[in-house]
Structure 1
Amino acid sequence: MTAAQQQDQQLQRRLQQDSIQLAGKTVYINPFLYWRRFDSNTDRWLREPGQLNEDQIQQNRSRFYPELDWALLDVTDQEIKDGAVEMFLKSLELIGTFHPELTSGQLLEVERKMAITKKRSFERWVEKSYKRRARLQTREKRRFARDRFLRGWSEWIALDTTHQALAPMVALVVISGVIGWSLGSSRASCPALVPPAQQTGVR
């Protein structure tokens, strides 16, 4: 089997996981395959966790994770799986929007296959989104702290009292520099005293 044939098989398997055949029609269950039909607001709504309210997510936990005891999960796992539940709900809403002809029974088939094939990928997507958000927040905090520090210094330097306090210090530094330069010049201009050479002879 050639490399091209292997790639084609992998693509076919991935497409089978990302779609379902209903009444002779292919329905994508991977929401990102609809991206060409998104506007910017829909794209942001899909990609950013936290767009749905917590009550709606908690009410649907057992719908997509019937095997889990949520009380036993730590906070991080709960956040990731809640984000995955949100992705399930968003995906089903998008599929219903782009395929209004689907019946409730067909949508249930879509949901079942999605719960089997997309659960782990949704969790990975949510985890990456949270990490990306944390990096952006850290970067923003550092930028804000730096700007606040520079603004504080600028405001302090602009004060009249600061000018009055700094003027004597600047003058002292200048005078010290002049005195040091003068002393250095005077030392350089004075001839060095060299002791007379000792006479040596052979007796």
Structure 2
Amino acid sequence: MCVGKCSQFNGLCLTILALLSVTLNLFLLFPNLDGSYLKKDQISSHARRMPGVWAGGLMVLLVGIQSTVMGFKVKRLSCFGTCCHMLLSGIFSILAMAGAATSLLISAAGLFSGPYCLYQVEGEATQEWGYPYITIGVPVFNTSTSVSLPNISTRKTVCIEPPHIETWNSHFLISLCLINTFQLVLCLSQLVNSFLGMLVGNCDWKKIHKLDGKWLQRNGTQY
């Protein structure tokens, strides 16, 4: 695939994934679309760090927009030359990889820790807010299958409030982890693409054929 076309593809995909990452993280801040828990600071610390907004979102969006502009050659926004654009894209790709990796690690930690919720203290009649899956040791993975997956079915019976927070938290965090993984792959692809672009240029075959045609016409040969 040509360097310019690859930049178009990577840029558009990274832009879409960055926006999805921001959206998923915002959903984690509003369980069941209820903002009262955020006002009471009854949200998981992993969600409040908002890794999907600043790390998997803005840092990845930067390289997504830059690669898209460079790939489509938007006038007045891509006038610094191919080598400079590719160098800038490579730097942004490294920063985006760091952001996607950070978001992935924080989201995975939030998935393993479980949601922050109101639960029944084991052996007592009192209820308190916290991380019940760490406190009472609920198994995180389902080991009855050949492939270990988050044991969401067991988690549905522990938290009292917010309602259905286990499913809400697990589904959005798993989706965020998948998005961050795709971001890492695309950022690595764009990093390699940027390196090739600095070596071979933007692969503009139309421009090459046009220059060849002019050269042949000057030498009296039909093109």
- Work out whether the TM-score is over 0.5: no
Give TM-score, length-normalised by structure 2: 0.31
Give TM-score, length-normalised by structure 1: 0.33
Larger CA Rg, structure 1 vs 2: 1
Structure with greater proportional helix content: 1
